[in-house]
Structure 1
Amino acid sequence: MAQQVAGEVRSDWVRVMPAVFVLLWSTGFIGAKFGLPYAEPFTFLLLRMLAVAALLGLVALVTRAPWPRSWRLAGHIAVAGLLVHAVYLGGVFFAISQKVPAGITSLIVGIQPLLTAALSGWLLGERVSARQWGGLLLGLVGVGLVVSEKITAGTGSAFGLGAAVAALVGITLGTLYQKRHCTGMDLRTGATIQYAATAVAFAVIAPLTESMRVQWTGEFVFALTWLTLVLSVGAIFLLFALIRRGAAARVASLFYLTPPVTAVVAWAMFDERLGAVALAGMAMTVVGVALVNRSA
């Protein structure tokens, strides 16, 4: 009887894991907004990268995870990490620090699957179908509607919106680069290398561009802890657990709900509001990305 109950609990947990992952991933944008009043963006990210690299490095050592077999592979892993973490996270945090709403930042970088689909045919030789191109166009129009409303309303700076676009380019190129050059990477050691390389990058950038002053308030400590443990470790390992259990398709489809979920949470916590045009654009973007994913 006890085994049956335990089995039912595990089955229920597997069913809700994709939704939990999307909710956790969406809070990454909220965590950035929550902590940025107390530290500048690159200083914040430097502290986060150091903490994650140390934590995952310890995990890799304790579990005796295999390290890359060549310096060449380690270099490829580091480059992918700089694109995915330094450019992507740096762009996201800088955009939010420039008063770009978390929901809008999430939406801009959320079209990454669309841009990846557009570039994969050129860079990786993958076929892009007519439906995917249609989804790409629909998604781009949707993002254009959202961004145009915010520009008209004077929300966020041009530099902030540009940083969000840079984050989109960074995670897209990083994903394609990792797919091409980092196959077979062990998650534990590979992530340690990527976070350590990103920490080195921010250790150079932060002193040159920021004062590096940190207000160690309870809110900042909470945001740093949440982003380190829940996002950089918990959400990533949850994603791989889902893939291992064969739930990758559900994760892929639910992943595209990240922008609207972020917008709802940002509305509840920070009173970030979206007008009718922005809501219509967000809906178009979600449908466009879903078309790309379904076609693939």
Structure 2
Amino acid sequence: MSKIDLLQAEKTSSIQRVRGCLAHCLPEALLVLAWSSGFVGIRLSSDYAPVFLVLFWRCALVVALMLPLVWRELIRTPINVLLTQGSIGLLAMSGYLAGVGKGIEYGVPAGLAALMADLLPVGSALLGVLFLHSRPSVSTWLGLVLGVAGVVIVTWGVLSWGNAAPWAYGLPLLGMFSLACATLLQKKINTSAAISLPGVLWLQCAVSLVAFGGAIVPTGSLTPIFSSGFIISVLWTALFSTLGGYGLYWFCLKRTSPVRVGSVLYLSPAVTLLWSWFMFGEPLSWSMLAGVLVSGGGLWLVIRAQ
């Protein structure tokens, strides 16, 4: 092979590596942006309505918007696939959102709840070891620990214990483990050939709609609050947090591992603080940058190990 051919081959290989990197990194960057909007949405909605009411109408809006796009597909989908995705939806949406949202509503500080929720990759790794007999490498565990350390540094200025009842602090952790279980199930039970991503999102939102409605009816009303704040919070969480956040989460999970996808979310607290600075005027600090660098180092170790 001539020197020109070698140079051309190296150039082609470099282009392919760059394209491969962009194909993974761009969706993951968008995932961080969309996922962090969910914590902002909880903060935005907490002043206008109970958490479950916002979650109910958030799911209702997504179900209504997507039904014309997926109803034909859902009719043809095997019943076992529908039941599987419905169960995963109960864990991923109802369990996770109820745990984090109700924890904040019962007095757990938002920063502490977000920190517990961001233990997702650690929870996924632990559940994988216990139930799937996976064996993460030393580099992966080191990356997970660094990621948690970075999250602590980022959120240190807003962390506080609050005055919630002791049991309330377990709700965000239960929500995190609920999403971790759903993540492992979604990865292990591959139904991508039987149902599309829009179908998955619609079905999971429909099941969660019933779950949140069932939780509200015994003690309250499903009637929406006709105020600009309530409407904005429902639109925000439906479009950014559900369609964007969960859509990109399942999309990235299909292409990589549960631990990697969860580790990417280590960067979401810093982005959440940027959202809060832009929307609510909350201050930024140099510790946030230091935490991002530490979490980024942990994420690099996880990606390199896998």
Question: Identity percentage over the alignment?
Answer: 30
Matched, 1:82 2:90: yes
Matched, 1:216 2:256: no
Q: Which residue of 1 aligns with 2:58?
A: 48
Instruction: Name the CA shift for 1:284/1:213 in 2 (closer, same or farther; >3 Å).
Output: farther
Distance in 1 between residues matched to 2:26 and 2:145, nearest whole Å: 32
Q: Contact 1:84 / 1:171 at 8 angstroms: preserved in 2?
A: yes
Q: Which residue of 2 aligns with 1:39?
A: 49
Instruction: Name the CA shift for 1:140/1:208 in 2 (closer, same or farther; >3 Å).
Output: farther
Distance in 2 between residues matched to 1:41 and 1:204, nearest whole Å: 14
Structure 2 residue corresponding to 1:190, chosen from 197, 200, 204: 200
- The letter of the residue matching 1:25 is W
Structure 2 residue corresponding to 1:150, chosen from 138, 159, 184: 159
Matched, 1:125 2:133: yes
Instruction: Name the CA shift for 1:53/1:119 in 2 (closer, same or farther; >3 Å).
Output: same
Distance in 2 between residues matched to 1:102 and 1:149, nearest whole Å: 8
C-alpha RMSD of matched pairs (Å): 4.0
Q: Which residue of 2 aligns with 1:177?
A: 185
**TM-score, structure 1 normalization:** 0.75
Q: Which runs of 5+ in 1 are unaligned?
A: 1-10
Instruction: Name the CA shift for 1:243/1:170 in 2 (closer, same or farther; >3 Å).
Output: closer
Matched, 1:111 2:111: no
Structure 2 residue corresponding to 1:256, chosen from 257, 260, 266: 266
Q: Which residue of 1 aligns with 2:14?
A: none
Q: Which has the larger Rg?
A: 2
Q: Which residue of 1 aligns with 2:210?
A: 200
Q: Which residue of 1 aligns with 2:104?
A: 96
- The letter of the residue matching 1:115 is G
Instruction: Name the CA shift for 1:128/1:21 in 2 (closer, same or farther; >3 Å).
Output: closer
- SS of residue paired to 1:208: coil
Q: Contact 2:91 / 2:178 at 8 angstroms: preserved in 1?
A: yes
Distance in 2 between residues matched to 1:114 and 1:155, nearest whole Å: 27
Q: Which residue of 2 aligns with 1:70?
A: 78
